[in-house]
């Protein structure tokens, strides 16, 4: 039992030690009034749209010409045709209640009026270069991660480059004291239990593992068991299953109040989760199955922000993450243990829809 408690204590110190650079960086951002903006992340999209013949089109949608199209240059007397070849790509533009398109091959780079019968919607990567879809995913993830973490990585380098490198020796030489406190005579045991009982599930799991040598207890691998229950019928009919890998509880391990006295809304895992690479490896082993995945733009639209690279920030808001058929299906190809932009590679397919 004591070994299990010390193991948990060691894990807490490891998490704290890895979070220190991010915590100090956030302190600096707080001093320059930029922390709130960084934590909030981009707002949801507000994309212009127009409905033509009962079909809705959105600004910046990628399209391709179904047949060859010809436009005339303005104030031109010779060689005045601008030809968009069949399959030529461009982007829709919705302005002033009009549907236009800017073709990549248009040398004048003008907005051209377009009839929906003359184009079809294509993936965003269509016609943008010779790189594969997977290359595009890796590059976009790399650039996004780079812009978000370059400042933090340089900060970490500076942090570990000075006298702070001695902090590891200092922490490793620290002592632990067990403190037992008495309970006041007028204490409410019901209220006391409501505060102390929130960590029972986590501690009981450690107890089960501590006695596993004699009881034969084996902790279930998070995410190994999947079921179609609780999923929308549109997903159940498509053969989807939901794999429970973490149980989140509100105000766990206890409620938290902001400086202005307002109660913060957050959730935390009941028991410590597996690392990202370990958890994704569990999903990778599932044969003949793909993951339902939100693209970076869908993450922004649904305001689902990941703060895992900043452990000192709130990780889980109280919000729904309902799976939708508009999310895409991906197949995990490789998962590395070291975190970073190249930690995961995956193959993209169509949306479930």
Per-position pLDDT tens, the chain of length 353: 777 777 877 788 788 888 888 888 899 999 999 999 888 888 898 889 999 989 999 999 999 999 999 998 888 888 888 999 999 999 999 988 899 999 999 989 999 999 999 999 998 888 875 444 445 444 544 454 445 445 555 555 555 554 445 555 665 566 667 778 889 999 998 888 877 655 567 777 777 877 888 888 888 899 999 999 889 898 999 999 999 999 999 988 888 999 899 999 999 998 888 988 999 999 999 988 999 999 988 999 999 988 888 888 899 999 988 899 999 999 999 999 988 778 999 999 889 98
List the 62-65 sheet strands across, edge first: 112-113, 98-103, 89-95, 62-65, 119-121
Closest of 41, 39, 101 to residue 65, by C-alpha? 101
Q: How many CA atoms lie within 13 A of 29 on its CB side?
A: 18
pLDDT score for 125: 84
Residues 6+ apart with CB under 8 A from 61: 91, 92, 121
Whether 205 is covered by a domain: the verdict is no
- 227 with 250, same domain: the answer is yes
Sign of the dihedral defined by the CA atoms of residues 177, 182, 187, 191, in that order? positive
Whether 204 is covered by a domain: the verdict is no
Structurally, the chain folds into a number of domains equal to 2
Q: Evaluate the omega torsion of the peptide bond into residue 17 and state whether it is cis, within 30 degrees of 0.
A: no
- 160 with 227, same domain: the answer is yes
Whether 304 is covered by a domain: the verdict is yes
Residue 165 backbone class (left: φ over 0; alpha: ψ -120 to 50; beta: rest) = alpha
Given 66, 99, 121, the domain boundary residue is 121
Q: How far apart are CA 255 and CA 263, in angstroms?
A: 7
Residues 6+ apart with CB under 8 A from 24: 155, 159
Residues 6+ apart with CB under 8 A from 57: 49, 50, 51, 92, 94, 99, 116
- 29 with 62, same domain: the answer is no
Residues 6+ apart with CB under 8 A from 345: 134, 138, 333, 334
State the pTM of this model. Answer: 0.67
Q: Structure tokens of 74? A: 């303005």
- 301 with 325, same domain: the answer is yes
Q: How far apart are CA 82 and CA 72, in angstroms?
A: 6
- 115 with 242, same domain: the answer is no
Given 121, 149, 180, the domain boundary residue is 121
Given 121, 155, 172, the domain boundary residue is 121
7 Cα distance to chain centroid: 29
Which parts of the chain fold into alpha helices (H)?
2-31, 35-40, 133-161, 167-172, 189-196, 200-210, 212-215, 233-236, 276-284, 296-301
pLDDT score for 284: 93
Q: How far apart are CA 201 and CA 221, in angstroms?
A: 17
Q: Which domain holds residue 65?
A: 49-121
- 39 with 53, same domain: the answer is no
Q: Structure tokens of 123? A: 């993936």
Closest of 22, 12, 324, 296 to residue 154, by C-alpha? 22
- 303 with 280, same domain: the answer is yes
- Alpha-carbon distances of 7 from 10, 20, 157, 197, 349, rounded to whole Å: 5, 20, 28, 21, 42
Whether 290 is covered by a domain: the verdict is yes
- 90 with 230, same domain: the answer is no
- 68 with 27, same domain: the answer is no
- 103 with 53, same domain: the answer is yes
214-233 core/surface letters (b: 16 or more CB in 10 A; e: else): eeeeeeeebbeeeeeeebee
Whether 210 is covered by a domain: the verdict is no
- 115 with 229, same domain: the answer is no
- 12 with 108, same domain: the answer is no
Whether 177 is covered by a domain: the verdict is no
Whether 78 is covered by a domain: the verdict is yes
Residue whose tokens read 């391709």: 64
Whether 105 is covered by a domain: the verdict is yes
């Amino acid at each position: 039992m004591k070994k299990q408690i010390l193991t948990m204590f060691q894990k807490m110190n490891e998490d704290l030690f890895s979070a220190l650079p991010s915590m100090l960086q956030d302190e600096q951002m707080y001093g320059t009034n930029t922390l709130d903006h960084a934590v909030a992340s981009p707002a949801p999209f507000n994309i212009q749209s127009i409905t033509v013949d009962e079909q809705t089109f959105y600004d910046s949608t990628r399209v391709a010409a179904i047949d060859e199209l010809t436009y005339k240059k303005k104030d031109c007397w010779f060689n005045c045709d601008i030809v968009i070849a069949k399959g030529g790509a461009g982007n829709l533009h919705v302005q002033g209640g009009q549907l236009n398109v800017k073709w990549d091959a248009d040398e004048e780079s003008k907005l051209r009026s377009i009839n929906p019968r003359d184009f079809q919607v294509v993936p965003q990567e269509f016609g943008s270069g010779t790189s594969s879809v997977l290359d595009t995913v890796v590059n976009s993830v790399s650039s996004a991660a780079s812009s978000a973490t370059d400042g933090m990585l340089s900060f970490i380098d500076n942090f570990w480059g000075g006298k702070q490198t001695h902090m590891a020796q200092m922490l490793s030489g620290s002592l632990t004291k067990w403190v037992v406190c008495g309970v006041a005579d007028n204490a409410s045991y019901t209220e006391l239990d409501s505060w102390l009982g929130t960590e029972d599930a986590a501690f009981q799991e450690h107890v089960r593992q501590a006695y596993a040598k004699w009881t034969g207890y084996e902790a279930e691998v998070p995410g190994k068991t999947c079921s179609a229950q609780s999923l929308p019928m549109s997903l159940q009919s498509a053969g989807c299953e939901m794999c429970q890998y973490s149980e989140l509880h509100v105000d766990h391990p206890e409620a938290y109040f902001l400086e202005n006295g307002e109660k913060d809304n957050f959730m935390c895992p009941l028991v410590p989760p597996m690392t990202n690479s370990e958890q994704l490896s569990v999903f990778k082993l599932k044969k003949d199955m793909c993951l339902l995945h939100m693209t970076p733009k869908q993450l922004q639209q649904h305001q689902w922000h990941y703060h895992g690279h900043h452990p000192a920030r709130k990780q889980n808001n109280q919000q729904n993450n309902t799976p939708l058929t508009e999310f895409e299906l991906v197949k995990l190809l490789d998962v590395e243990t070291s975190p970073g932009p190249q930690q995961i590679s995956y193959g993209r397919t169509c949306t479930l829809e």
